[in-house]
Amino acid sequence: MEMCKNRRMVTIAIDKCEFKTPAKEGSLVKIYAKMEKVGKTSATFNVEARAYNVYTEKYILVLSTQFTFVRIDEDGNPIPIHITA
């Protein structure tokens, strides 16, 4: 929503979400997303969850996947995305 400057973004797909390793008790889980691709009405993001150990200051990849969102109008119809800097 923030990158596309539109509050009407809906999730249409989440790729396989397979956990690589567990986040251990006491770890802080941080979620990171990076825009990978923008189409006419959709945007795909690479998403990673990393466990951060506050004692060792090390990160461990917990999972990675892709989310695809579509911009819609007030009636739920797909409309073009306009990315602004």
- Among 65, 70, 67, 80, smallest CA distance to 10 is for 70
pLDDT at 76 over 80: yes
Q: What is the pTM of this model?
A: 0.78
Alpha-carbon distance of 9 to 26, in angstroms, equals: 33
What is the structure's pLDDT at 83? 72
Cα 61 from Cα 77, distance rounded (Å): 36
Instruction: Look at 25 and 10; give whichever has higher pLDDT.
Output: 10
Q: How far separated are the first and last CA of the chain, in Å rounded?
A: 13
Look at residue 29 and tell me whether its pLDDT is greater than 90: yes
Would you state the CATH architecture of domain 9-71?
Roll (3.10)
